[in-house]
Amino acid sequence: MIPQIQASNQTNSIIRNITIKTQSSLTYRDNGNNIIGKTDGLDAITQTVWHILGTERYAHPIYPEWYGFEAEKYKGQPFSYLEAQIENDLRSALLQDDRIYDIIISEITQLSIDSASVKFNVYSQEGIIEGMELEINV
């Protein structure tokens, strides 16, 4: 016999009373070498973006597997590979943070035979971070 589940008013009222609360963005402000106070809002999200992009994914056991950006995979690859893959990789890295909704690349430029620049905007719950630029070794 297959069990039958019947919805009741009690079950529906429980589901209606669930609220989702978003955590604060308040975190420590980092200037690269030192902690200098705290930051919140769009500045905190900007800092998070740079921390994620500056951490090689899978390279540091202290971070979970979903944290970081795979920059090393571009080394030795042609520029066309970067053009084809970079948007997906940026999304994969940055959309892990639930405060970030979207990433739009505005420009990809080959700087030299072994480096490229990617300009992009980050759309978050705190607003838009415009004109971000990431230099990648290819």
User: What span, in angstroms and rounded, lies between the C-alpha atoms of 80 and 29?
Assistant: 37
Q: Which pTM value belongs to this model?
A: 0.78
At a CB cut-off of 8 Å and minimum separation 6, what does 76 contact?
138
At a CB cut-off of 8 Å and minimum separation 6, what does 13 contact?
none
pLDDT recorded at residue 30: 83
Q: Is residue 103 very low, low, confident or very high in pLDDT (cuts 50, 70, 90)?
A: very high
pLDDT(9) > 60: no
Chain segment 25-37, per-residue pLDDT in tens:
778 888 878 888 8
Count Cα atoms within 13 angstroms, Cβ side, for 92.
13
Alpha helices, H only, 17-94? 41-53, 79-94
pLDDT(133) > 60: yes
